[in-house]
Chains A and B, each alone.
Chain A
């Protein structure tokens, strides 16, 4: 049995009268690339932000690496990375300065070497000293990936990572995920890009009506039919 990297049980979250997450359960094991699909507005981003310790759930229990966010928040945050729609980058700083700043926050040893490695990985080394404000959306997303992976997290959350990326950058992202996954990094991704998500997933699920429908064992065709059926039921 693989190690339990993340365990979430009975997660509930509502906004006003709208129940977004309705007693959701999830377990991630070391080395998973778990891709969660779902239509717009079903609560994917809310879920990933709860799992990444950015917002609180109303009810339920979550443990990361056997630790609780209430007692060991900093230790958990040291081990996780999160790439969101927002790149979390300062537009008045250069690519290098942005990574240098986050390297200081995470107390990364040999930070210059690591920053260089990351900038080369996302193919932005030649733009190291350009301000992020002059970058395209795709370049910001690539730099955001470098920021996410800078401190070598063991668990990485990706929220719609393909949005804003061109085909080459999407392929590069999947290559990075595969490489890091082979090194033991666990990924949890939410996306509505079925093709790209299915390509990379080792486990998959669908978020519907505030719960995850796990379909690890279904054949691809069967999974896709189920997904379409759920989307239809939600009025898409």
Chain B
């Protein structure tokens, strides 16, 4: 019970701070719009199949804008000197991890859905199965946020943490959750049915479980010095 109430307290604190200073939300919104507008601009001059490129465009937007959301999660605690205050509390480090993970997940997912709407406004696409697309975005965002939180906690303790976060995060995420999500999203835009996606969904789910479990198991060692 104590774990749940501590997780809830951290979750609510994170959301309250974020909706008050909008540090993550503003960076993500602006970057998403810039990336999508840049692609729209490029496609005015180059003749590519927008349907084939829809999936990578969406996930590149999620990936780079999401990175901006991940940086302050733990860095903010270090900069404001509040990390030690959290450490002193009689709670397990996993409460800190899960509280922050859930809050970041909600913010990133909300902004990814917003980016998806902007994407459909910018690019005239035949509408894919929105239920399946939403499902893949949710699953991909879970893995992205779970690993992102862990790497954000590691990099917050390092010098040049702003550089270290993408250096540590990009190689792992790109070849796991992002690649699999791009492929599954491509199939959805190509008119696939749920049965065609089952392997992709299982793979993304497996990455989600591995990343959440890694966060749970490692966060104690990362936070305690």
What is the chain B residue whose CB lies nearest that of A89? B82
- Contact partner of B84 (CB less than 8 A), chosen from A86, A91, A106, is A86
Quick check: A92 and B21 within 8 Å, CB to CB?
Answer: yes
Q: How many contacts A-B (CB < 8 Å)? A: 66
- Chain A's interface: helix, strand, loop or mixed, by majority? loop
Please pick, from B17, B89, B91, the residue contacting A93 in the complex, using a CB distance under 8 A. B17
**Cβ B88 vs Cβ A77 within 8 A:** yes
Closest B residue to A103 by CB, please name it. B9
* In the complex, chain B residues 77-91 whose Cβ is within 8 Å of any chain A Cβ: 80-82, 84-91
The size of the chain B interface, using a CB distance under 8 A, is 24
Give every chain A residue within 8 A of B16 (Cβ-Cβ).
92-93, 97
Min CB distance, A82 to chain B, in Å?
A: 6
Check if A54 sits within 8 Å of B84, measured CB to CB.
Answer: yes
A101's contact among B9, B20, B81, B90, by CB below 8 Å, is which? B9
Mask, B75-113, CB within 8 Å of A = 1, is 000001110111111111000000000000000000000
Given contacts A101-B9, A107-B5, contact A90 B82 (CB under 8 A): yes
* Chain A residue contacts of B202, Cβ below 8 A: none
A84 within 8 Å of B by Cβ? yes
Closest residue to B8 on the A side, CB-wise? A104
Closest to B92 in A: A74
1/0 contact string of B9-20 vs chain A (CB within 8 Å): 110010011001
Binding site for A on B (CB under 8 A): 2, 5-6, 8-10, 13, 16-17, 20-21, 80-82, 84-92, 225
User: 4 closest A-B pairs (Cβ-Cβ)?
Assistant: A88-B85, A86-B81, A104-B9, A105-B89
